[in-house]
Amino acid sequence: MNHPISRHWPAPAKLNLFLHVNGRRADGYHELQTLFQFIDCCDQLDFQPTESPELVLHSTLSEEVADKDNLIIRAAQALKQATGYHGGAHIWLEKNLPMGGGLGGGSSDAATTLVALNALWQTGLTPAQLGDIGLTLGADVPIFIHGHAAFAEGVGEKLQPADPTEPWYLVITPKVHVCTATVFKDPDLPRNTAKLTFDTLMLNPWRNDCEKLVCRRYPQVANALAWLIEYAPSRMTGTGACVFGEFKEQQQALAALSNLPADMDGFVAKGMNISPLELRLRQL
pLDDT tens, residue by residue, 41-60: 999 999 999 999 999 999 97
Q: What mean pLDDT is predicted for residues 179-200? A: 94
Residue 146 buriedness (CB in 10 A; 0-12 / 13-18 / 19+): buried
Q: If you average pLDDT over residues 226-252, what whole number do you get?
A: 97
Q: Rounded CA gap, 265 and 108, in Å?
A: 22
DSSP 69: G
Predicted structure pTM score: 0.94
| Measured CA distances, 216 to 37, 65, 223, 267 (Å) | 26, 29, 10, 24
Q: Which of 171, 165, 200, 169 is nearest to 273 (CA)?
A: 165
The pairing of beta strand 150-153 with beta strand 168-172: unpaired
93-121 pLDDT, tens digit per residue, is 999 998 878 999 999 999 999 999 999 99
3-state secondary structure of 134: helix
Whether 163 shows a pLDDT value over 70: the answer reads yes
Domains of the chain, first to last? 6-162 (3.30.230.10), 168-272 (3.30.70.890)
Nearest to 269 by CA among 13, 10, 17, 8: 13
List residues with catalytic annotation.
14, 140
**Whole-number Å distance between alpha carbons of 119 and 156:** 25
